[in-house]
Amino acid sequence: MSSRELVVLSVGGVRFVTRASTLQQFPESRLARMVNDDDREFKLVNGEFFVDRDGALFGYIMDFLRTLQVSLPTDFSDYQRLQREAEYYGLYPLADLLSQEHLLKPRLEILEVRFSLQEMQAFFRIFGSCSSTIAALAEQITVFTGQQSGQGWNSPFSSQKRLVPLPLERPSHHDMVFLCGTEYSADDQVVARYVSIKPDNRKLINGTNVLGLLLDSLLKDGFRLISTRTVASEEKVECYTFERMKRAAGLAIMVNQTAGSSGVAQARRSQVQKEK
């Protein structure tokens, strides 16, 4: 039986087809012993192993055996049940990772957009609790600058000289600052700043339009607007606060090969690099 390449399992009525080598990742597990005909509890019926356990949870176990990572949906809540299933199959490295529930649960991510209008310019500051989200936004947002002959928000694009991209200001890993609109340079030339937000190809100079595109982009990216307020100060600053559930960084198993072993031997736990 151990020489068969494919194995079919019926777990709680859910059918799985996988390689024998996948089930033999951990030689001491019951699944490896099942493939080697060393566990009589698993019955072979019409060419399929029947397992009287939870089929839906076994899908996560199969994903772990194939990837050696624990990565669960954001709405997953059956950590203890899945841990019991891992223990039943003798997959103790997986059970050990699942015991660290606090590392696997998704986290609430907060993002704040601050917007203010001053004469012909609009100022933006984006602050996020997750530095990787701010880094991703910095890749999407580009500010272009150039001189134009007209004045005001709606000067024709055709009157522009060649636009030059500007680096975004990043005071820290958790925030970014940029502006758009027009201003006079020292030699009384009108300097314009346009903003482009991928995947939209437009270059917008009107701050209200940029704000609308930015908020729409965040909503499409899974954020939910939870509050809007005006910050009380000399400059009227509008503040938009968003939240979303961010999938937790997965945990991975590093598996060592041992001499004289036909399968994968002892496993040691390793956390995937955490973000800042």
What pLDDT does 253 receive? 59
**Range of the structural domain that residue 229 is part of:** 108-150+158-246
Q: What is the 3-state secondary structure (H, E, C) of the chain?
A: CCCCCEEEEEECCEEEEEEHHHHCCCCCCHHHHHHCCCCCCCEEECCEEEECCCHHHHHHHHHHHHHCEECCCCCCCCHHHHHHHHHHCCCHHHHHHHCCHHHHCCEEEEEEEEEEEECCEEEEEEEECCHHHHHHHHHHEEEEEEEECCCCCCCCHHHECCCEEECCEEEECCEEEEEEEEEECCCCCEEEEEEEECCCCCCECCHHHHHHHHHHHHHHCCCEEEEEEEECCCCCEEEEEEEEEECCCCEEEEECCCCCCCCCCCEEEEECCCCC
Pairing of strands 190-197, 175-184: antiparallel
Q: Using pLDDT thresholds of 50, 70 and 90, give the confidence band for residue 149.
A: low
Mean pLDDT, to the nearest integer, of 119-132?
92
Q: Which of 160-164, 209-213, 270-274 has the lowest mean pLDDT?
A: 270-274
Query: Which region among 10-14, 40-44, 241-245 has the lowest average model confidence (pLDDT)?
Result: 40-44
The answer, yes or no, to whether residue 134 has pLDDT greater than 90, is: yes
Q: Say if residue 13 is in the same domain as residue 34.
A: yes
- Average confidence (pLDDT) over 237-256: 74
Given this model, what pLDDT does residue 233 score?
A: 63
Q: What is the mean pLDDT of residues 124-149?
A: 90
- pLDDT bin (cut points 50, 70, 90) of residue 259 is very low
Which of 86, 104, 122 terminates a domain? The answer is 104
Residue 273 lies in a domain: no
95 and 202 belong to one structural domain: no
- Number of other CB atoms surrounding residue 272 within 10 Å: 14
- State how many domains the chain has: 2
**Does residue 43 register a pLDDT over 50?**
yes
For residues 88 and 141, state if they share a domain.
no
- pLDDT higher at 182 or 273: 182
Whether the per-residue pLDDT at 181 is higher than 90: the answer is: yes
Q: Is the pLDDT of residue 73 over 90?
A: no
Q: Are residues 98 and 112 in the same domain?
A: no
Mean pLDDT of 144-173: 71
Residues sharing a CB contact under 8 Å with residue 105, sequence separation 6 or more, in sequence order: 79, 248
The CATH number of whichever domain residue 36 belongs to comes to: 3.30.710.10
pLDDT for position 8: 94
Residue 253 lies in a domain: no
- 64 and 141: one domain? no
Is residue 269 situated within a structural domain? Answer: no
Q: Quote the mean pLDDT of the chain.
A: 82
* Residue whose C-alpha is closest to residue 157's, from 166, 167, 168, 144: 144
Query: Residue 163's pLDDT is what?
Result: 87
pLDDT of residue 71: 79
Residue 224 domain-assigned (yes or no): yes
Based on the fold, state whether residues 96 and 218 are members of the same structural domain: no
Is 42 within the bounds of a domain? yes
Res. 2: pLDDT tops 80: no
* Residues 132 and 64 placed together within one structural domain of the fold: no
**What CATH number is attached to the domain comprising 225?**
3.30.1410.10
Q: Which amino acid is at 31?
A: L
Give me the mean pLDDT over the 61-88 stretch.
Answer: 89
Residue 45 domain-assigned? Answer: yes
